[in-house]
Amino acid sequence: MKIAVLGGTGDFGVGLVMRWAGEHEIIIGSRGAERAEKAAEEIIRILRERGVDASIRGMKNADAVAESDLVVLSIPYNSAKPMVEELKGSFNDQIVVSPIVPMNRVGKRYMYTPPAEGSAALLIQKILPPSVRVVSAFHTVSSKAIRDMDNRLMGDVIIAGDDPESKRIVADLVRAIRDLRPLDGGDLKVAAQIEGLTPLLLNLAKVNGNAIKCPGIAVVLSCPTEKKIESCHL
């Protein structure tokens, strides 16, 4: 599968690229092709030293979208609307994964501040053509943790979307990252609840200091039952 990671030069984007490059063709998207190409070359070098033969290219965002089957929008919320509006003509029927979180820092706390549409994912869905399938995911994965290839990621990734097949494809990408588990969160209207977990985790990390450096989410069964949580998996 051809995966475009827009914002693939930041920690979170680079982490996804490195974790998936052994199994998929990756295209790093950036506003400037030169920056994306340099990032691709550097990641290829790092992975080669780790014994991973990777296919990674760098392109301008519009070209990366047009060539891909799946697009990850690893970009800040403030850049999301203008960038997606600018690029919407390059989209056709791709799956678009949104880990975007609208939030602000108010005093010492991070606060979830969704747009009028209800969530970043629903805003993106509104802008893009109806043929594009938007999936909300990866909000509870630390950018620092995923960037460190020696770090063992553990926890659950909650996935929301209106198209079951797209959610299954994203779930397989979650499973491709060792020790991460995908859970079906429901349709895209649930995205607001998932996005809101990010500021909660950041606040926990701030309040608890070194006790929680790269927080994530793990869903557990808290009462005796014979029904296993695997039934919730995609």
Residue by residue, DSSP assigns 3-36 as: EEEETTTSHHHHHHHHHHTTTSEEEEEESSHHHH
Task: Determine the 3-state secondary structure of 93 from DSSP.
Answer: coil
The confidence score (pLDDT) of residue 207 equals 86
Instruction: Give me the number of domains the chain comprises.
Output: 1
Cβ proximity of 70 and 1 under 8 Å: yes
| Residue written as token pair 């003509």 | 89
Is the pLDDT assigned to residue 150 strictly greater than 60?
yes
Full residue range of the structural domain in which residue 158 is found? 2-232
Q: Which of 49, 46, 27 is nearest to 36 (CA)?
A: 27
- Averaged pLDDT for residues 105-113: 92
When pLDDT is cut at 50, 70 and 90, the band that residue 67 belongs to is very high
What's the chain's average pLDDT? Answer: 92
- Averaged pLDDT for residues 110-126: 97
The confidence score (pLDDT) of residue 227 equals 57
The confidence score (pLDDT) of residue 229 equals 54
CATH of the domain at 221: 3.40.50.720
The pair of three-digit structure tokens given for residue 41, joined into one six-digit string: 């070359």
Cβ proximity of 46 and 147 under 8 Å: no
The 8-class DSSP code of residue 94 comes to -
- Averaged pLDDT for residues 134-148: 93
* CA-to-CA separations, 131 to 92, 94, 161, 163, 210, in angstroms, rounded: 7, 8, 13, 11, 45
Higher pLDDT, 144 or 63: 63
Pairing between β-strand 155-161 and β-strand 133-136 as defined by DSSP bridges? antiparallel
- Condensed to tens digits (0 to 9), the pLDDT of residues 175-198 reads 999 889 999 999 999 999 999 999
Phi, psi of 62 (to 5 degrees): -60, -40
Higher pLDDT, 231 or 70: 70
Task: Determine the 3-state secondary structure of 52 from DSSP.
Answer: coil
- Condensed to tens digits (0 to 9), the pLDDT of residues 195-231 reads 999 999 999 888 887 656 777 888 887 766 655 555 4
In this prediction, what percent of the chain has a pLDDT beyond 90? 76
The confidence score (pLDDT) of residue 231 equals 44
The pair of three-digit structure tokens given for residue 79, joined into one six-digit string: 């850049």
